[in-house]
Amino acid sequence: MTARLNVNIDHVATIREARKTIEPSIITAAVICEQAGANGITVHLRGDRRHIQDRDIELLRDVVTTYLNVEMAATDEMIGIALQTKPDAVSLVPESPNEITTEGGLDVIANFENVKKAVDALKAAGIFVSIFIDPVIEQISAAAGVGAQQVELCTAEYAELTLSSRATHGEGAQKAASEVSRIAQAAAHAKSLEVLVAAGHGLTYRNVGALASLPYIIEFNIGHNIISRAVFVGLNQAVREMIDAIA
Ligand code: PXP
């Protein structure tokens, strides 16, 4: 079965916020992604509101007809927004104010009670809950323990290893292959606990194929590489090319 693609459109909002203006429209971006065949739209509402704003979530909730996945930290403020706007899914992510982007997965073991409280509240409101975690067996067990319906395996390390030709030669290729196998084992462990498996972070047209051919990964969340390519070829084509890379 081919995995679904949710396009993360945060960086359309990054361009808009660079001028604090009204363009490019996040709504137009979402519609183009859907028309190009994306299975869903992902956005990250950060505490510092550096790209996506609260109003974007409200508008996207009205416009997105496929699947709206909102990434957020497990804070009272964010969970309150989710309960009010009711996206189809919430992905709980760690967040630190000075990071350039999300740095690794949520430590569910260290934050067990807080994460469980968030998961309970979201599930009670009928919102599907995914947790972004590193491909580590103990973290997956903890995610199952707090009641997550899905884990999104953090592929940042794999992405780093596949950034350049390092990945296709000698030691670099071996390291990338061993990271793929760590992700595969993590996915199998989640499956054995009846937890669904997504993956994302740093994925590209070039590196997604090795993960798309693994069993159990049913969803990819990909943003930066698609929006970057869209600058040159347009968003519709950029999304189509990623769908082809996953198929
Ligand atoms: N998944 C999660 C949980 C993320 O935080 C991000 C980045 O916002 C992505 C996927 C997408 O990562 P990228 O923009 O590198 O494709």
Known catalytic residues are: 44, 71, 201
Instruction: Identify the pLDDT of residue 69.
Output: 98
Expressed in angstroms and rounded, the spacing between residue 8 Cα and the centre of ligand 1 is 7
- Closest ligand 1 atom to residue 156 Cα is 15
Closest C-alpha among 207, 203, 105 to residue 166: 207
189-236: pLDDT as tens digits: 999 999 999 999 999 999 999 999 999 999 999 999 999 999 999 999
Q: What are 120's two structure tokens?
A: 């309970």
Tell me the domains of the chain and their CATH numbers.
Answer: 4-246 (3.20.20.70)
Average pLDDT over the chain reads: 95
Instruction: Identify the pLDDT of residue 167.
Output: 62
Question: Contact 243/205 with Cβ under 8 angstroms?
Answer: no
* DSSP label of 151: E
Rg, C-alpha atoms of the chain: 17
| Closest Cα to atom 15 of ligand 1 | 202
43-76: pLDDT as tens digits: 999 999 999 999 999 999 999 999 999 999 999 9
- φ and ψ of 183, to 5 deg: -65, -40
pTM for the predicted model, two decimal places: 0.96
Expressed in angstroms and rounded, the spacing between residue 107 Cα and the centre of ligand 1 is 17
Expressed in angstroms and rounded, the spacing between residue 167 Cα and the centre of ligand 1 is 21
89-135: pLDDT as tens digits: 999 999 887 778 777 999 999 999 999 999 999 999 999 999 999 99
Instruction: State which H helix or E strand residue 71 sits in.
Output: strand 68-72
DSSP H stretches of helix in 67-111: 76-85
| Closest Cα to atom 6 of ligand 1 | 201
Pairing of strands 150-154, 128-133: parallel
* Rounded distance between C-alpha atoms, residue 88 and residue 41, angstroms: 10
209 Cβ neighbours under 8 A, 6+ residues apart: 245, 246
